[in-house]
Amino acid sequence: MKRKTLHFGEGFRLAIGNDKSQAAEMVLASGDTEGGPDNRHRGSDQWMLVAEGEGLAIVNGHSYELTAGVVMLIEAGDTHEIRATGDTPLKTLNIYVPPAYLDDNTPLPAGMP
């Protein structure tokens, strides 16, 4: 068993995980973006829960509004960008199955736990 209290500090930060999945917290200031038209997790599904704030997810060229309580499944290979559009920071919890990152800045290649 593992346990972690999230603090939702600025930026992207891995929180907890094992060889089968991992969780990360992300905070984007108003107007900030993460990802883009080439951003994808080739070997991992990404579950994203919006904890606070407002934003926009652009997945495979389609736009989706983000508000507190929204959960979204961005499937392996989907291109995606997340934008904070509200007056307050956008705070999300992201679950990757299997893990998508070696550390906060290094994505894993597809199929590499």
Residue 113 placed within a domain: no
**Count: domains in the chain:** 1
User: How far is residue 92 from each of residues 15, 63, 112, measured CA to CA in Å?
Assistant: 12, 17, 24
Which residue range(s) make up the domain with 82? 11-103
pLDDT for 113 beyond 60: no
Q: What is the CATH number of the domain that holds 51?
A: 2.60.120.10
Residue 96 placed within a domain: yes
Residue 69 placed within a domain: yes
For residue 62, the surrounding DSSP H or E stretch is strand 62-67
How do residues 80-93 score in pLDDT, each as one tens digit?
A: 999 999 999 999 99
Q: Provide the pLDDT for residue 105.
A: 85
Burial level of 70, CB count in 10 A (0-12/13-18/19+)? middle
- Among 63, 110, 70, which residue's Cα sits nearest to residue 94? 70
Cross-strand pairs, 107 = 101
Residue 49 placed within a domain: yes
11, 25 Cβ separation under 8 angstroms: no
Place of tokens 């930060």: 13
